[in-house]
Chain A
């Protein structure tokens, strides 16, 4: 990110957070597949599964593209 300081790019941290959250939400969605929470609307769409999957893919992509050894 910088010339003066060799700081790990902020995008790497973004990827890390998205990846961790994506995996957690994806797994939670799978666990709820057959018994979704009763007080939530549109559970038949299984939003946690595809939203968690999206976060996982994006997070992994950012993590790979902006890994510290590449930017050093």
Chain B
């Protein structure tokens, strides 16, 4: 490996040409134009917070995936692919596809039929105010932190790649997002998410295409990686997981299957309101069931533009990238791999498109967070606890204001991220705190009518507290890593999987125990909220090509084939 070339030690990675700047400026102008155009349609609460519940399955499905294609996806996972190899794709495949199909086929009917506006809203109908309030408050807290992560990630990229001032980037992008979401509400967020979806694909897809041409295809890339990093396996997904010592993540396959596949991803994709809100905007139940399944096919393809560039970085970059906390002046971090690859292949014009794709990803993530925050704050905190029975227009105004206020608060939290070891570790920790136990609470509530009001609350609280406790123990005393993650070499991502699994188990155990000693609600109060008391829509008269279950099975089959190919 050669020392870092002098040209990359400079304050910026690339210098944008006039056409690049023009491409970026056009994007900012268009999203603002769309926001103001859609403002006239966002007049009622249902319009502003749920996009009128009139989106097609395709629009809702693309927005569902795009809201998750934020800065963390593009940069963090490309960096993780460089660090851990193709094992990072587990987060896109087993860590997403089964959960998205499960959301569409099993959970979405309950969310949709109950006409709830949010996940805490469903908890209120199913359990009452205690579990709902706990969920709403923790979600609002998490959303603000997530928004801060997005802002910081974006600003760092702008600084590394373009030499732009960190504070300037944060202010300009967040204000743009704030203006267009405050104007058009979820209409605006969804429109821009679909737009951003196309931008991200067309802006980033050239990197793997040109990278594979340079390396001579997949086998050529693998050969170069083995040549550059002898004795390490970066190109197999399952084979190195028989023992934590055999893979760079330090993880057993059990943690991937149960911690990631059965808990973490299920929790995120089925109960994180940020993504579920997009599906709630669908025009009918069948569209709501189809939307996440349509999204699952695109999600399956995202490793092409995220994981593959990280692997190609191992193959073609002439120097080693380092962990974020070990980077010295003149060195680049794992998370810099995607911008580095963009700079390698993209000249004027294409570079502008690539940078716009990154900015679009950041803004999609931010828009997702603030629109979800505005809904939960207004409907699940402000309306039930601060001002009941106000006119609908009052809540729409509140939604617009708290969009902006939420953004300003998250700007402050953006700087907290700088003190964390790694962006992804930080976010995984948050997922573990709130999302994993929430999944246990929601799923038990949907599938078991006996679960009681107080069981829902105490189970959720116990899950969150156990998650925080486990996280802190492993963070400040490494001896606990062996206890909870079953291996002393477990890396932060592996620790987070185990943490999520223990938190969900705690939640389920406490919920069941409290249920057994408390009085259940009458059946008639649970109609439309619980599996055994809800009439499911029949689809005998729908052609097979329009049946969600057919596409769900196809998505799962494609997932299995991918696992075999990259075993």
Residues of B within 8 Å of A24, CB to CB, are: 19, 22-23, 349, 352
Asked if B213 and A42 sit within 8 Å, CB to CB, the answer is yes
Asked if A3 and B30 sit within 8 Å, CB to CB, the answer is no
Interface residues of B (CB under 8 A from A): 7, 19, 22-23, 26-27, 30, 34, 37-38, 41, 47, 52, 54-56, 59, 187, 190-191, 194-195, 198-199, 202, 206, 210, 213-214, 283, 343-350, 352-353
Interface size class of A (residues with CB under 8 A): 20 to 34
**Contact A43/B26 with A4-B54, A14-B195 known, Cβ cut-off 8 Å:** no
Jot down 22 A-B pairs with beta carbons below 8 A, ordered by A. A1-B54, A1-B59, A2-B52, A2-B55, A3-B54, A10-B59, A14-B198, A16-B30, A17-B26, A17-B27, A17-B199, A20-B26, A24-B23, A25-B19, A25-B349, A25-B353, A32-B347, A40-B343, A40-B344, A43-B347, A45-B210, A48-B350
Tell me the bound Cα distance from A5 to B145 in angstroms: 34
Say yes or no for A28: interface residue by CB 8 A criterion: yes
Asked if A5 and B348 sit within 8 Å, CB to CB, the answer is no
Nearest residue in A to B18 (C-beta to C-beta)? A28
Nearest residue in A to B46 (C-beta to C-beta)? A4
Asked if B347 and A21 sit within 8 Å, CB to CB, the answer is no
Q: Which of B190, B210, B343 has the most CB of A within 10 A?
A: B210
Residues of B within 8 Å of A51, CB to CB, are: 202, 206, 350
Residues of B within 8 Å of A10, CB to CB, are: 59, 190-191, 194-195
New A-B contacts (18) at CB < 8 Å, excluding given A25-B350, A42-B345, A51-B202: A4-B52, A5-B52, A5-B54, A8-B37, A16-B30, A18-B202, A21-B23, A24-B22, A37-B347, A40-B345, A41-B345, A42-B210, A43-B347, A45-B210, A47-B350, A48-B347, A48-B349, A52-B349
Tell me the bound Cα distance from A32 to B23 in angstroms: 17
Tell me the bound Cα distance from A52 to B203 in angstroms: 11
Tell me the bound Cα distance from A69 to B366 in angstroms: 33
Tell me the bound Cα distance from A16 to B191 in angstroms: 13
Say yes or no for A29: interface residue by CB 8 A criterion: yes
**Contact A42/B214 with A1-B56, A10-B59 known, Cβ cut-off 8 Å:** yes
Asked if B198 and A36 sit within 8 Å, CB to CB, the answer is no
Residues of B within 8 Å of A32, CB to CB, are: 347-348
Nearest residue in B to A11 (C-beta to C-beta)? B194
Report the 6 A-B pairs with minimum CB-CB distance, sorted nearest first.
Answer: A28-B349, A37-B347, A25-B349, A2-B54, A40-B347, A5-B41
Nearest residue in B to A16 (C-beta to C-beta)? B30
Interface residues of A (CB under 8 A from B): 1-5, 7-8, 10, 13-14, 16-18, 20-21, 24-25, 28-29, 32, 36-37, 39-43, 45, 47-48, 51-52, 55
Nearest-neighbour CB distance to chain A for B169, whole angstroms, equals 21
Nearest-neighbour CB distance to chain B for A36, whole angstroms, equals 6
**Contact A41/B210 with A5-B52, A10-B191, A21-B353 known, Cβ cut-off 8 Å:** yes
Nearest-neighbour CB distance to chain B for A16, whole angstroms, equals 7
Nearest-neighbour CB distance to chain B for A10, whole angstroms, equals 5
Tell me the bound Cα distance from A13 to B31 in angstroms: 10
Asked if B38 and A7 sit within 8 Å, CB to CB, the answer is yes
Q: Which residue of A13, A45, A47 is within 8 Å of B195 (Cβ)?
A: A13
Nearest-neighbour CB distance to chain B for A8, whole angstroms, equals 8
Residues of B within 8 Å of A41, CB to CB, are: 210, 214, 344-345
Asked if A7 and B210 sit within 8 Å, CB to CB, the answer is no
Nearest-neighbour CB distance to chain B for A55, whole angstroms, equals 6
Asked if B210 and A47 sit within 8 Å, CB to CB, the answer is yes
Q: Which of B52, B191, B202, B213 has the most CB of A within 10 A?
A: B202
Tell me the bound Cα distance from A4 to B191 in angstroms: 16
Residues of B within 8 Å of A55, CB to CB, are: 202
Tell me the bound Cα distance from A48 to B41 in angstroms: 38
Residues of A within 8 Å of B213, CB to CB, are: 42, 45
Nearest residue in A to B199 (C-beta to C-beta)? A17
Q: Which residue of B30, B54, B345 is within 8 Å of A47 (Cβ)?
A: B345
Residues of A within 8 Å of B22, CB to CB, are: 24
**Contact A17/B198 with A24-B22, A41-B344, A42-B214 known, Cβ cut-off 8 Å:** yes
Tell me the bound Cα distance from A24 to B18 in angstroms: 11
Nearest residue in A to B193 (C-beta to C-beta)? A10
Nearest-neighbour CB distance to chain A for B39, whole angstroms, equals 12
Residues of B within 8 Å of A8, CB to CB, are: 37
Residues of A within 8 Å of B41, CB to CB, are: 5, 7
Q: Which of A21, A32, A43 has the most CB of B within 10 A?
A: A21
**Contact A13/B19 with A1-B55, A5-B41, A40-B346 known, Cβ cut-off 8 Å:** no
Tell me the bound Cα distance from A37 to B202 in angstroms: 21
Nearest-neighbour CB distance to chain A for B165, whole angstroms, equals 24
Residues of A within 8 Å of B214, CB to CB, are: 41-42
Asked if A14 and B194 sit within 8 Å, CB to CB, the answer is yes
Nearest residue in A to B191 (C-beta to C-beta)? A10
Tell me the bound Cα distance from A20 to B353 in angstroms: 11
Tell me the bound Cα distance from A61 to B242 in angstroms: 50
Residues of A within 8 Å of B38, CB to CB, are: 7
Nearest residue in B to A54 (C-beta to C-beta)? B202
Asked if B54 and A17 sit within 8 Å, CB to CB, the answer is no
